[in-house]
Amino acid sequence: MFTFLLVIQAIIAASLVGVILIQRSEGGGLGMGGGGSPGGLMSARGAANFLTRATTGLAIAFVTLSIILAAIASVRHGGGEIDTSLARTPAQTAPQGAPADPLAAGAAAGAQAAGNETAPAGDVPLAQ
């Protein structure tokens, strides 16, 4: 049912674009430009125009079908479980002998790897 309505929605959208592109431009928004010509959208003649009625009908069908599809999708996919597979675990506490500053431990290990075993962990200069 959902797929069928989705195909109908796509056909209505394509038809709406086609009908809008076929319409003649009046030079102003809603046919108001150009001195209020009698063929504009706001006149009786323009309101009776087939393309204007087709545009209105397709727009109403598009919005209505959009609301129906949204309602179906929310009922179909709503109310599921919350996936907790990526939930964070609480922070682990450091072992008793570990320094309180994790950066100091990394700097001390880097100094030992470079052969400078006498450099204190907190006084390692930053590379520039």
Q: How far apart are CA 5 and CA 73, in angstroms?
A: 11
What pLDDT tens digit does each residue of the chain (128 aa) get? 889 999 999 999 999 999 998 887 765 445 444 444 555 555 545 544 888 889 999 999 999 999 999 999 888 776 677 778 887 777 666 667 666 676 766 666 666 666 655 555 555 566 65
* Segments making up each domain of the chain, as ranges: 1-7+41-77
Beta strands in the chain (DSSP E): none
Q: How far apart are CA 113 and CA 12, in angstroms?
A: 69
Rg (CA), the chain: 34
- Would you say 46 and 40 are in contact if contact means Cβ atoms under 8 Å apart? yes
The pTM (predicted TM-score) of the whole model is 0.47
